Amino acid sequence: MSSADPAEDCLYLAIAYKPNKIANMVAGIVYALLGFAFVWRWATTMRARWSLWLPIGCFASAAGFFMRTQVDPCDFNIPIYAVSQMLVLVSPCAFIAFNYMLYKRIVLAADPECAAAAVSTTKKGGNTIKKKHVKSRFSFMPPLIAGRLFVCSDLITFLIQSYGGGMTAQEKTVDIGNKLFLIGVTCQACVYGLYILAFTVLAYRLNKYRVSDLATGEKIQWRTSLRSLIVLTYISSVFVMIRSVFRVVEFVQGHQGELVTHEVYLFVLDVLPLVIAVFVWLCIWPIHNINHLADECHSTQHEQLPFENRPFKHSGSY
């Protein structure tokens, strides 16, 4: 798992070591098990399409690590290396997208007035028209717009990282590929930092207002479902940032840097943090908590309506 065969023994050293088959196989199995667990969670609860990002990311990561077992710098296969590299590098974008999508849903679940105003009663082609510019007292930007901005930024950085990661498989483009990926992962880390800031503002305002009881107008303590969502989002975000910082430093060091040339850092600073970042959502499935929070906050306005017919629901991809 540390240094590999010297460069002079290989025709082209795309990777500075021969990947440890056992370690990569274990990483692939862990991600695959998480993927199946999230599919089970999705299948046994409200089948919200946006929550599929977790299993998609897990299965993509699993495939990447399984393919890494076939990578040999001295018997180089460009397609295998390129695909495995791209899957390992960019699959975390799916985990980040999932966290981004939580923001809007927490705001709408905790703020029934915003949720009701965000959905127009006007029908167009049989579909309800959403008013994206509706503001919430808990969010410093309209929640529907915030969700789309974060997800779109994740998509853009995903494309940059994908293109850059693929270019690292060829000797003549490896430097350009590294720089492109560095740009993508740095932008991703910066945007995620803004997300943490926005989420901190959300948590502060929720704590300040204590999610007022709509029936009595009295302020009450945070509900357990909301507190769990906030704590777990912070835990997940910390480990996402650890991985992002690792990748930034890794590519800043260059192709012969300490982090790039020793595989152990990949497992300690990439695999482990990301596994923890997604595992927290397996412990407490956020859709349950969002549903419970919305059930309580929306009950006085829509107590006669089933949950799926209330202004807030899990429809849409983001």
| Per-residue tokens: 217 | 């107008």
- Return phi, psi of residue 3, to 5°: -70, 155
Residue 104 to residue 114: CA distance in whole angstroms: 11
Task: Give this prediction's pTM.
Answer: 0.83
According to the model, what pLDDT value does residue 165 have? 76
One pLDDT digit (tens) per residue for the chain, 318 residues = 444 444 455 545 677 788 999 999 999 999 999 999 999 999 988 778 888 999 999 999 999 999 999 988 877 788 898 899 889 989 999 999 999 999 988 888 887 777 666 665 445 555 555 566 777 778 888 888 888 889 899 899 988 888 887 777 777 777 888 888 899 999 999 999 999 999 999 988 887 775 445 444 444 445 677 888 999 999 999 999 999 999 999 989 887 889 988 999 999 999 999 999 999 999 889 888 888 777 777 665 544 444 444 444 554 444
| Domain extent listing, the chain | 7-309
pLDDT at site 300: 53
SS3 state of residue 141: coil
pLDDT for position 303: 46
In a 3-state reduction of DSSP, which class is residue 36?
helix
What residue ranges in the chain does DSSP mark as E strands? 119-124, 127-130
What is the pLDDT, as a whole number, of residue 260? 86
Q: What is the DSSP string of 186-225?
A: HHHHHHHHHHHHHHHHHHHHHHHHT---TTT----PPPHH
pLDDT of residue 222: 59
Q: Torsion over CA of 170, 97, 281 and 143, rounded to 10 degrees?
A: 170
Q: Is 183 helix (H, G, I), strand (E, B) or coil?
A: helix
CATH of domain 7-309: 1.20.1070
